[in-house]
Chains A and B, each alone.
Chain A
């Protein structure tokens, strides 16, 4: 702790020696020379200029002056800016990272002593600077609209600010997609998917901007709710950006690194903070369903984590094992957070159980808008059933991988879990569809083991059947994997002293 503090202190004392992230310098040098950025910026300026000209010229022919012209022009500028920045900048940043990460063209940046976190931070900052370039170009046009009436300056700057934050978050997601170790065709697919997914960002952003213009941010700024809402939105965007940051860092870290640790710590922290934030909202408004935003997002996050977790190798590298605490008190905590499928399963299980428990406690503690507790029979059995199914599928996949495909990559276990769930969801439906004279009704009946079938059922008893089946299947799989799990716990220990000393760290 003292060493870390001394390091931090010396960092700030020697502020004159601070240098910009090398990636930022290189990327910006390349960006300002690239035809893509300069061309896009010129096009953007031309479009803004022509749009302004059209508005002003048409207005000059109008006998009665439009007192809302500034507002109309501003909304057009928002559409142009949001479109250009959300579609173009993340695509530019993502493609640059993807090209560098191609297997047949190893960018030697990844064999330098730059840490993975610095590389991702550099790429992110470069995206932010490019976004800043576009926003700076747009800002005079937007500020000018204030003189034409229909929009106040706080609204202009507020919309610009949160558009900028959204573009930064989109950049981070693009970097994450580009870091995924996939072949070129898959990366092209990711880019196409990312392009279409951008509409999900652009359309609500534009709608929100228009709503702010209508209400006027200047008028709302004095209200407490406005700031609470703004800060909550900012915190959520920051949490999402941070999540994709740690995931990207993990993806480009060496395989021998403890990649699970920062990701699991970060996710646990945002889970806790998110829970506190949601609880704050429930306490403030008395509306218990607000806690469900946290519950659902945690559930989705943990389902993805489950697939990634079982794709971890059972063998911990020597480098990770050296970091395992020798203290028997600290070691169980490390087991939860370090690389490895067994610890990861416990971590996911722990977070899901705590989420379920806390959601129930909070929904019961605030009876004013008595929302049915999440596990109430016939109400939200889905949480337990779906979680049990997810664990059952992943444990089955782990077992199959260990027994029959142990020589193949551990990533196959994650893929297998998804394929098992998908196959069991699709195959029986197809068989039933054809066996029952092409009737869709037969398909919508009870299909135990089909994780998706649960949501299509209306009969509560059948849902309970699903719950029982999922829990029994999970129990069987826990027993089947028990020996493997215990072995993992047993092997989770630091290396013997002799082995550790054989590693010589260079001066």
Chain B
């Protein structure tokens, strides 16, 4: 399954919520969709899920246009919105049963699908509970179960981890990894960027409806953080001397003491890092640790976005 977002644009009156954005992702990929509040993430996700209509552009799911053939596209998409189910007077099992029927599952196939989803999302124990009586984390599981009930190829998750406790977050992360292994194409938006770094293959950074960066995590990291940060820990408080030396070394910049460690930015490649380490050891400095600290998604996000909303 290939998901292609093509020149998508959405206007609400004079406000351009999504401004000509394009990106694509495939089966087995978990694609992070990040941006400040009001960047256009939810609108894009709602368009992909056929809830919202695009002003221009299109989203193709294996060649099926969500704008032209929303009924066909719906078979392929499972959507987890940022709002939790608020249905009154209905139990978890009945809720899942209803959506299974709505997606056309019949007889034994429906029973099996519901049982499998209840087990997968670990809601078997609460299946007879009323939806309104559930905690946020449990409701999130039920919503995920509902989105998966028809076994869609594409999963669109809007802030699924918001408000979840640490255990629920870890469990959600594990579920997503499992789903990616089952060859689902997953688009997930979240403000918890450290978590996204761990599970995402690719990322789209969006602000004011425009894409700022897109690609695989490594590509984006490379593009947005060309300098590598190196951390050095020394024995016996030799930091001041080493700092002075480093500041005179080529390719090194912004050397500073961070909580007893020396951090500096290196513009050269890995052999340059080796040379520096060699030089420090040759000058008899007692190097306990010499490591490159990779820039994470959070650093990139802070670098590329300005926090603007439209």
Contact = CB atoms under 8 A, between A and B. Distances in A.
Is the A/B pair a real complex?
Answer: yes
Contact of A106 (B51, B87, B94, B104): B51
B260 interface: no
Given A108-B99, A110-B51, A112-B103, A506 B79 contact: no
A30 B75 contact: no
Interface string A1-31: 0000000000000000101001101100110
Contact of A29 (B74, B76, B94, B104): B94
Interface in B47-69: 49-51, 53, 62-65, 67-69
Interface residues of A, number: 32
B83 A105 contact: yes
Contacts, number: 92
B63 A503 contact: yes
Contacts of A110: 51
Contacts of B69: 256, 319, 503, 505
Nearest to B64: A506
B77 interface: yes
Given A108-B81, A113-B75, A254-B71, A26 B98 contact: yes
A503 B64 contact: yes
Nearest to B53: A255
Nearest to A408: B13
A115 interface: yes
B70 interface: yes
Contact of B70 (A26, A108, A256): A256
B288 interface: no
A34 interface: yes
Most chain B CB within 10 A, of A22, A23, A504, is at A22
Interface in A102-123: 104-106, 108-115
A19 B101 CA distance: 9
A317 interface: yes
A318 interface: yes
A97 to B, nearest CB: 14
Given A29-B89, A30-B89, A113 B74 contact: yes
Given A112-B102, A113-B103, A29 B90 contact: yes
Nearest to A254: B70
Most chain B CB within 10 A, of A104, A108, A506, is at A108
Contacts of A108: 79, 81, 99, 146
A115 B71 CA distance: 8
B87 A113 contact: no
Contacts of A318: 65, 68
A33 interface: yes
Contacts of A29: 89-90, 94
Interface in A491-507: 502-506
11 contacts: A22-B101, A25-B98, A29-B89, A29-B90, A30-B90, A108-B79, A112-B74, A256-B67, A317-B68, A503-B69, A506-B63
